[in-house]
Amino acid sequence: MTHALDTAHYALRACQERVTVLENVRVARDTFRVRFHCPQIARRIVPGQFVMVRLADYNDPLLGRPLALYDTILANGDGGAAVGIDIVYLVLGKMTSQLAQFAPGGQLDVWGPLGNGFAPPSAEHLIMVAGGIGQTPFLALAREALGQRPYGDPPRSVARAPRVTLCYGAGSKDYLAGVDDFERLGVEVCLSTDDGSAGHHGLVTDLVDQVIARSPRGRVVCCGPERMMEAVAKTTHAAGIGCEVSLETPMACGIGICFSCVARVRDEDGGWDYRRTCVEGPVFDAERIEW
């Protein structure tokens, strides 16, 4: 699969802004959506890219954290240019625990957009597979695929997908975040939970198998736990359809300097080498990942 954004220098186009929190609201158990005004980043960012976020004037934690674009915010409702972004995050460690306490008016240091993002949607059926907090990169991608909003500067050229499906799995219904947001776009949402409290009682990969069987001409994008992505990659390989995975490798710098986020990626000659998830990724062709 040839990636439309295949380059090793995304960080050269990034910018840094000190931003003010406009909203920081709980959307599910231990899950929040933070919104801030950042016109330069919002204008350039495309689905699947991320920003590094650091708590302004805090020394602990010292480093920023990578958080994926959830969606852009437009001036004048839906009729203006992109002027801000939404990020959805799960409270896991010190940084996100502190961020969850931020009220409107709090300050963040943000740099981006970073990473390559998803290739523009081009299939009759876009199938998005998410586990845990892996749904966060998909709202903007679904909106773009359905022809509801352009992204990037200049805007990407995208062929509208007649059908978009989200297969979304979590531990329980309490952790399912943003389901209403996807449904409002017209996305078909298929849910699974480990405890059976919502949707299918079992793994999200069970749903993927069913959806692919009904739609052999689809294209899959996937984000979540590595074992889940590996299973989806095996399914799509067997079905002969394309699959992109967005890796959740821990990062330190986000701009390719520290080499702390490397993943094993196959070369064209059949060997493999380490690639920086923050620069060459986070989105990779699933066929190229050395799981």
- How do residues 219-278 score in pLDDT, each as one tens digit? 999 999 999 999 999 999 999 999 999 998 888 888 888 888 999 999 888 889 999 999
pLDDT above 70: residue 52: yes
Mean pLDDT lowest among 46-50, 72-76, 190-194: 72-76
For CATH 2.40.30.10, the residue range(s) in the chain are 10-114
Overall fold of domain 10-114 = Elongation Factor Tu (Ef-tu); domain 3 (2.40.30)
Q: CATH for 125-288?
A: 3.40.50.80
Give the C-alpha separation, 51 to 53, whole Å: 6
For CATH 3.40.50.80, the residue range(s) in the chain are 125-288
* pLDDT number for residue 13: 74
* pLDDT number for residue 10: 56
Residue 32 has which token pair?
Answer: 């929040």
Give the C-alpha separation, 64 to 51, whole Å: 9
pTM (two decimals)? 0.93
* pLDDT number for residue 122: 82
| pLDDT level of residue 161 (50, 70, 90 thresholds) | very high
